[in-house]
Structures are given as C-alpha cells and as structure tokens.
Amino acid sequence: MNDYDIRLAVPAQTPTARSRAPVAAVFALCAGALLAFSGRTASAGVVIDIGVAPPPPPVVVAPAPRPGFIWAPGYYVWNGHRHVWHDGYWVHARPGYHWVADAWVPRHGRYHFVRGHWAR
C-alpha cells in the first residue's frame, strides 16, 4: 500500500440462523396472509335496516330500450331522516344474467335495503 491507496478491510460475513430468523418470520407471515386471502374478493357494504316503510314509488315512464343496456328502475334511499327518491339509470347488460332492482324488503318488523344486482 502506498500513501494514496486506501482500502477497507471488512471481514466476510455470513448470515447466521439468528440474523435470518426475522426475515423468515416476515416471509412466513406474508405467505400466510396471501394464502388466507387467496380466492377471496374484498367487499364492503353498509346494511340498512329501518323502521320506516318507503312511500309508494312515483309513476315513472321508463325510457325506450337501448341496445346493450337495461333500465334499472328508480328506488328510495334513506338519507338518515327520510326516504328520498333516486331516479332510474342505465346498466350495461350482462348476457346470462337478469337485473334485480334495488328494493326495500320487510324483515323482522323492519325494512331492509337490498341493493340492485345481477343474478342468474
């Protein structure tokens, strides 16, 4: 070595079982989480059960059919204080399925809101 040549002498380090343990634990947790949630889809929703029946729906003339769409009729939504009418809307058609409209269903002396959805 000369005055201008600087080298660091670092001993070769090999991981020990002790230093690999945290990495293995994190890997196991991640793998377990992936296996636990595989095949499942995430979903979130709000369940609405109220003691106030919705009023009768207003008379609404459905628009003329559109190719590739179905008309989802209007329905009442609960805004926390009263029922408010929500106008109907167009939904892309799904071959092999039919549209089940949004509805308030009597259940255990209350009214349960069932969101519109596709069914076979």
Name the residue with higher pLDDT: 4 or 29: 29
Q: How many domains does the chain have?
A: 1
The answer to whether position 6 is within a domain reads no
The answer to whether position 9 is within a domain reads no
The answer to whether position 27 is within a domain reads no
Q: What share of the chain is helix, strand, coil (3-state, %, to 5)?
A: 20, 30, 55
**pTM attached to this predicted model:** 0.60
The answer to whether position 112 is within a domain reads yes
pLDDT in tens, 95-113: 999 999 999 999 999 999 9
Q: What is the DSSP string of 34-82?
A: HHHHTT---------EESSPPPPPPP-PPPPP-TTEEEEPPEEEE-SSS
The answer to whether position 57 is within a domain reads yes
Name the residue with higher pLDDT: 78 or 6: 78
The answer to whether position 20 is within a domain reads no
The answer to whether position 62 is within a domain reads yes
pLDDT in tens, 30-65: 555 544 444 555 566 778 899 999 999 999 999 999
Q: Which domain holds residue 115?
A: 49-119
What's the mean pLDDT when you consider all of the chain? 80
The answer to whether position 7 is within a domain reads no
Tokens of 91: 């939904």
